[in-house]
Amino acid sequence: MFSGLIISILSLTKHAQEPLNIYILTGQLYNRHQQFQALTDDHAAFLNQLVKRENVDSGVTKIDITTQFEADLPKANINTLFTPYSMLRLYGDLVPQFSDRILYLDADVVCRRPFEDFYHQSLAGTDFVGVLDHYGRWFFHHQQRAFDYINSGMLLMNLDMIRQDKLLARCRECCRKWPMIMPDQSAMNKLAKHKAFAPEKYNEQQDVQSDTVFQHFSTRWKLWPIVHTVSVKPWEVDKVHQQLHLHEYDDILAEYQEIMAELDAEGKLKTE
């Protein structure tokens, strides 16, 4: 995830018009398949220096929520195909450092255009704003209407309202009791009564478009020569070029590669 965070931060600082307060949720998590390591203070310090290159008023803060996670484990979904980290967003209401308004981004989301207008929109009467899931919209409906299933990789969250109506607390209970295909995402869509829908450009899950603001490198389905999935992440630079034929972010990816080469040469911040 350290690689993803570097690319994400480089993309955000490229397009941000205001200082950025970036919070990284991490923890020492585990399931029956694997033991996961939290990002270290050194990782956070490096990312903090990185974001300040563009604006000295910006900053990165690491928040370890191992304690909160272990106190309310998503027991019914801890061993799914998705790592436990996919459910950390469901603990956002328990983080006192978070303001009432948080833009949540997965580590495989890359910023392509300025996003302040989206961030500052009115959230009155809304738990969160998101974009329909590219595939899930066709299969999952939770509010007696078609096309209401939002992808959780990009969420503009109204934590003030969420803390009042206890949406995330109810989502954690749901993940604790009932197995689901896509646990955190399904729980939020099922239980949220006040969600708003944004255009695809704010969470483009397929090919980049001329107006794309955030591109989410999520898994895709391909039909040829046989039906299969393709999962390419931003830090897999060769695959981004060869499989996705995408060169939109070459300046950011080149800088990312330079950073990683320097860290490797210095023997710092090992990520394995």
User: Residue 91: which of 21, 170, 37 has the closest Cα?
Assistant: 170
Q: Is residue 265 part of a domain?
A: no
Q: Is residue 239 part of a domain?
A: no
pLDDT tens for the chain, residues 1 to 272? 999 999 999 999 999 999 999 999 999 998 888 889 999 999 999 999 999 999 999 999 999 999 999 999 999 999 887 888 989 999 999 999 999 999 999 999 999 999 999 999 999 999 999 999 987 654 566 555 656 889 999 999 999 999 999 999 999 999 999 998 888 999 999 999 999 999 999 999 999 999 999 999 987 756 556 555 678 999 999 999 999 999 999 999 999 999 999 999 988 775 54
Six-digit token string for 221: 């389905």
Give the amino acid at 217: F
Q: Is residue 255 part of a domain?
A: no
**pLDDT of res. 55:** 96
> pTM, whole model, 2 decimals?
0.91
Q: Is residue 37 part of a domain?
A: yes
Q: Is residue 105 part of a domain?
A: yes
Main-chain phi, psi angles of 214, to 5 degrees:
-125, 130
Number of domains in the chain: 1
Domain of residue 179, CATH code: 3.90.550.10
Q: Is residue 102 part of a domain?
A: yes
Q: Is residue 155 part of a domain?
A: yes
How far is the C-alpha of 142 from the C-alpha of 187, rounded, in Å? Answer: 10
CA distances from residue 219 to 33, 124, 191, 225 in whole angstroms, order as listed: 21, 33, 25, 17
> Structural domain of residue 82, as residue ranges?
1-218
How far is the C-alpha of 196 from the C-alpha of 198, rounded, in Å? Answer: 7
- Nearest-10 crossing angle of helices 167-177, 183-191: 130
Q: Is residue 271 part of a domain?
A: no
